[in-house]
């Protein structure tokens, strides 16, 4: 849960959004315009509020040495796929002058929370921590020491364990002055809908609604789908021109946002994604299929990204048997999760693997690669129905 490094603040969130409009990268959208206006207002409030949340402001946080300023309300943006939630979140995060901030996918955050709680309880069993200590209070202090502005992508609750933890954890975080900005496909009132023992989760929703301004992004236009429909999805053959097309596809899908290297942690192993932004991963065939990766690794990628852009899919055969098997597993995983797949390849799907002991099994992959280029597949929501 280490804080992100400080970035250069060259403009405000609103100025950055207007620049995207002026350049034609983003089309004017009333719902987005309203959201960026509210994010801009929050960014301005955080400048003054940040004085008491910094190291020199510890006395104010504890209610000593003067009146403590109440934290501004956070912002919760929700709506369907492709409405611009992630883009707006990134613009806010990149251009808000708060050093102690953390931007994280909510699923990864909760995995880390469970890991730390488990380690805390193990320390209690070993007598290293007093049995009266509350792991959630201890964890909240660790989080606040590192970042008091938390930005969550894809806020959702589907697990009873998460539901039982969230209320107490976030209540403690809010008490310590944390400000939260989040994106989600669901309204807060629909979080953990129909979940087991949901009545125990309802108090959290009330607290959350009190601390957050809820903004719906629903212009009726799925910009992600619109951009994908305008792209070449399967580019062949591999060439310098194909590389240029693929780079342009990645830039279009990420709305010109600055990409960064991303590392996913899966069961103690690290998976390096060379470039990623706006829920889109840019990688190569060698990165994902020439290394000893398996279904669990590909599932982590499918959960994290709604689109994968891959460079350099080669012709396959017996000499690349292991790589071909991994490619089959990768495509199966992306297909099941309704992840969009854009690539450059040596040959069309039907000619990628025509000879060898894996050619017959590869026929299903051929079928899926063809289907993944169709408008019907592209229009499916990531995850198969979120």
Helix (H) or strand (E) holding 96: none
| Inter-residue contact 157 to 166 (CB < 8 Å) | yes
The pLDDT tens digits for 313-355 are 999 988 888 999 999 999 999 999 999 999 999 999 999 998 8
Q: What is the CATH classification number for the domain harbouring 151?
A: 3.40.50.300
Q: Are strands 234-235 and 212-216 parallel, antiparallel or unpaired?
A: unpaired
Higher pLDDT, 329 or 219: 329
First and final CA of the chain: distance in angstroms? Answer: 27
> What pLDDT is attached to residue 57?
42
Alpha carbons 221 and 219: distance in angstroms, whole number: 5
| Inter-residue contact 280 to 307 (CB < 8 Å) | yes
The pLDDT tens digits for 46-70 are 988 888 776 444 444 444 445 567 8
The pLDDT tens digits for 123-137 are 888 888 888 888 888
> What pLDDT is attached to residue 1?
41
How buried is residue 133: exposed, middle or buried, by Cβ count under 10 Å (0-12/13-18/19+)? exposed
The reply to whether 284 and 246 lie within a common domain is yes
| Inter-residue contact 144 to 54 (CB < 8 Å) | no
Which domain covers residue 267, as residue numbers? Answer: 223-378
Alpha carbons 346 and 239: distance in angstroms, whole number: 9
Mean pLDDT of 172-195: 91
The separation between CA 165 and the C-alpha centre of its own chain, rounded to angstroms, equals 21
Cα angle 144, 40, 73 (rounded to 5 degrees) comes to 45
Region class of 268: left (phi > 0), else alpha (psi between -120 and 50), else beta: left
The reply to whether 196 and 212 lie within a common domain is yes
Query: Quick check: is 386 in a domain?
Result: no
Query: Quick check: is 192 in a domain?
Result: yes
Predicted confidence (pLDDT) at residue 90 exceeds the cutoff of 50: yes
> To which residue do tokens 């169709």 refer?
374
- Rounded to whole angstroms, the maximal C-alpha distance in the chain is 77
The reply to whether 327 and 372 lie within a common domain is yes
Mean pLDDT of 167-186: 91
CA atoms within 13 Å, Cβ hemisphere of 245: 18
How many structural domains comprise the chain? 2
Query: Quick check: is 4 in a domain?
Result: no
Total-model pTM? 0.69
Reported as a pLDDT band with limits 50, 70 and 90, residue 220 is: low
The reply to whether 229 and 374 lie within a common domain is yes
Q: Assign 366 to helix, strand or coil.
A: helix
Share of the chain above pLDDT 90, in %: 48
The reply to whether 113 and 257 lie within a common domain is no
Predicted confidence (pLDDT) at residue 2 exceeds the cutoff of 50: no
Reported as a pLDDT band with limits 50, 70 and 90, residue 11 is: confident
Cis peptide upstream of residue 237 (ω within 30 degrees of 0): yes
Predicted confidence (pLDDT) at residue 182 exceeds the cutoff of 60: yes
The reply to whether 194 and 46 lie within a common domain is yes
The reply to whether 177 and 237 lie within a common domain is no
> What pLDDT is attached to residue 302?
94
Mean pLDDT of 359-378: 90
């Amino acid at each position: 849960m280490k804080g992100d490094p400080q970035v250069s603040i060259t403009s405000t969130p609103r100025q950055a959004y207007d620049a995207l409009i002026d350049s034609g990268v983003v089309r004017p959208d009333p719902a987005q315009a309203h959201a960026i206006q509210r994010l801009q207002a929050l960014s301005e409030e955080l400048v003054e509020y940040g004085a008491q949340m910094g190291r020199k402001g510890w006395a104010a946080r504890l209610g000593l040495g003067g009146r403590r300023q109440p934290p501004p309300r956070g912002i919760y943006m929700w709506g369907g796929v492709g409405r611009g939630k992630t883009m707006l979140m990134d613009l806010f995060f990149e251009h808000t002058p708060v050093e102690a901030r953390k931007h994280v996918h909510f699923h990864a955050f909760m995995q880390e929370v469970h890991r730390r709680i488990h380690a805390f309880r193990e320390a209690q069993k070993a007598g290293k921590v007093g049995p009266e200590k509350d792991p959630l209070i201890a964890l909240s202090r660790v989080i606040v020491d590192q970042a008091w502005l938390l930005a969550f992508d894809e806020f959702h609750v589907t697990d009873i364990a998460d539901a039982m933890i969230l209320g107490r954890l976030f209540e403690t975080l809010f008490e310590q002055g944390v400000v939260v900005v989040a994106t989600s496909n669901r309204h807060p009132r629909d979080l953990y809908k129909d979940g087991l023992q949901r009545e125990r989760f309802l108090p959290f929703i009330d607290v959350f609604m009190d601390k957050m301004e809820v903004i719906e992004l629903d212009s009726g236009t799925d910009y992600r789908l619109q951009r994908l429909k305008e792209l070449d999805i399967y580019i062949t053959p591999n060439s310098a021109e194909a590389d240029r097309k693929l780079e342009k596809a990645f830039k279009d899908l990420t709305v010109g946002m600055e990409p960064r290297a991303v590392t996913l942690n899966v069961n103690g192993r690290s998976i390096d994604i060379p470039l990623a932004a706006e829920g889109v991963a840019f990688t190569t065939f060698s990165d994902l299929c020439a290394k000893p990766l398996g279904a669990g690794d590909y599932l982590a990628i499918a959960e994290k990204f709604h689109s994968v852009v891959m460079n350099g899919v080669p012709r396959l055969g017996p000499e690349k048997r292991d790589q071909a098997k991994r490619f089959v597993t990768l495509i199966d995983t992306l297909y099941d999760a309704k992840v969009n797949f854009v690539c450059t390849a040596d040959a069309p799907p039907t000619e990628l693997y025509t000879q060898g002991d894996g050619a017959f099994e590869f026929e299903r992959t051929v079928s899926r690669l063809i289907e993944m280029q169709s408008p019907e597949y592209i229009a499916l929501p990531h995850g198969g129905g979120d």
